[in-house]
């Protein structure tokens, strides 16, 4: 926990909370592969108080659509207060802002002084918006976006000019609305949803981004959530948006790399590199059959995913 007790904070006004900002700077996140991205509401102080020790690989502090306009300043100040007292966290910390023209610019500029790992801007439409974020955001932080508009869905593969732009999160419900499609399409066997997810994943990879799949709203339907995770893993996703600890547990389990895959990848790396020194890039292996350079590169991808 960040604070031993929340009693002294709960009754403070927004302006009074600003007077209690600390000066802590958490170290940047080191891990580069992520399975779960849990959304937290910054109006819930008990949840904010635990961001130093949660099982989610990523934590997103949400300033956007879950927060009523009348309480956005309160949510922003709460984030600032807890980040300013955060010494360390085992999770990658993200702040999700409102769209740039709806307060996002001001939120980014206010948050620049605090220590977290990435900003995530809602409802991005163009590459120019990403370039603007790059200009105004503190250079130590990554840029993430929420892909929720038909414009970004169409052009994502071209959004690759900013090195610290690393991640795209698909907001499936808002995207369907932008495409003038009903949200009732969201089911495991719907071909339109399969196409949307596949296109998003491939275009994100073309742009050099980690694609994070959508948040499943039915929190108590753990079987349904697991089914989505298993489908998305087959498609090539490695990270899933989560609503809470139960979904985080499932996502971490499903998107973990199987130990047998790791053993196989390590073996392939070892024998291929040994063979390569002899000038042989294609050979029969007693344990895993024919191995050549494409199979070697795939093994490296598996090993990269566990770092």
Cα 232-171-211 angle, rounded to 5 deg? 45
pLDDT of residue 216: 96
Classify strands 289-292 and 282-285 as parallel, antiparallel or unpaired: antiparallel
CATH 3.20.20.60 range(s) for the chain read 7-256
pTM to 2 decimals?
A: 0.89
Rounded distance between C-alpha atoms, residue 162 and residue 15, angstroms: 36
Rounded distance between C-alpha atoms, residue 226 and residue 249, angstroms: 10
Rounded distance between C-alpha atoms, residue 16 and residue 32, angstroms: 37
Cα 59-65-67 angle, rounded to 5 deg? 85
* Residue 242: both structure tokens together: 């989560």
In this structure, CATH architecture of domain 7-256: Alpha-Beta Barrel (3.20)
Decide: helix, strand or coil at residue 140.
coil
In degrees rounded to 5, what are phi and psi of residue 37?
Answer: -130, 100
Q: DSSP state, 243?
A: S
- Using alpha carbons, select from 160, 150, 256, 251 the residue that is nearest to residue 208: 160
Q: Which residues pair with 58 in a beta bridge?
A: 37, 92
Q: Please, are residues 201 and 158 in contact by the beta-carbon 8 Å criterion?
A: no
Would you mind telling me the total number of residues written for the chain in this entry?
A: 307
How many C-beta neighbours within 10 Å does residue 263 have? 11
Walk along the chain (307 residues) and give the pLDDT tens digit of each residue: 999 999 989 999 999 999 999 999 999 998 778 999 999 999 999 999 999 999 999 999 999 988 999 999 999 999 999 999 999 999 999 999 999 999 999 999 999 999 999 999 999 999 999 999 999 999 999 999 999 999 999 999 999 889 999 999 999 999 999 999 999 999 999 999 999 999 999 999 999 999 999 999 999 999 999 999 999 999 999 999 999 999 999 999 999 877 787 778 788 887 787 888 888 888 788 888 888 888 888 788 777 777 6
* Residue 288: both structure tokens together: 């895993």
- Using alpha carbons, select from 233, 144, 228 the residue that is nearest to residue 189: 228
Measure CA of the first residue to CA of the last residue in the chain; give whole Å: 26
């Amino acid at each position: 926990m960040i604070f031993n007790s929340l009693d002294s904070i709960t009754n403070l006004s927004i302006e009074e909370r600003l007077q209690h900002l600390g000066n802590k700077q958490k170290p940047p996140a080191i891990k580069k592969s992520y399975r779960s991205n849990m959304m937290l509401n910054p109006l819930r102080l008990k949840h904010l108080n635990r961001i130093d020790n949660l099982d989610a690989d990523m934590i997103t502090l949400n300033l956007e659509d879950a927060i009523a306009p009348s309480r956005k300043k309160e949510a922003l100040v709460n984030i600032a207060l807890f980040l300013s007292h955060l010494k360390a966290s085992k999770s990658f910390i993200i702040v999700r802002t409102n769209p740039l023209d709806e307060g996002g610019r001001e939120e980014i500029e206010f948050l620049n002084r605090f220590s977290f790992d990435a900003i995530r801007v809602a409802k991005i439409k163009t590459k120019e918006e990403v370039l603007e974020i790059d200009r105004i955001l503190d250079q130590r932080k990554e840029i993430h976006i929420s892909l929720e508009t038909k414009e970004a869905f169409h052009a994502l593969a071209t959004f690759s000019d900013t090195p610290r732009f690393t991640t795209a999160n698909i907001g499936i419900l808002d995207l369907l609305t932008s495409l003038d499609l009903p949200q009732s399409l969201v089911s495991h066997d719907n071909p339109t949803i399969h196409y949307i997810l596949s296109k998003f994943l491939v275009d994100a990879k073309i742009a050099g981004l980690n694609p994070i799949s959508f948040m499943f709203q039915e929190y108590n339907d753990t079987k349904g959530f697991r089914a989505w995770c298993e489908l998305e893993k087959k498609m090539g996703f490695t990270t899933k948006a989560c609503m809470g600890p139960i979904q985080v547990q499932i996502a971490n389990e499903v998107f973990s790399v199987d130990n047998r895959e790791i053993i196989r990848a390590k073996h392939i790396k070892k024998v291929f590199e040994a063979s390569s020194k002899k000038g042989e890039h294609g050979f029969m292996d007693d344990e895993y059959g024919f191995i050549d350079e494409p199979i070697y590169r795939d093994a490296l991808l598996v090993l990269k995913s566990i770092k």
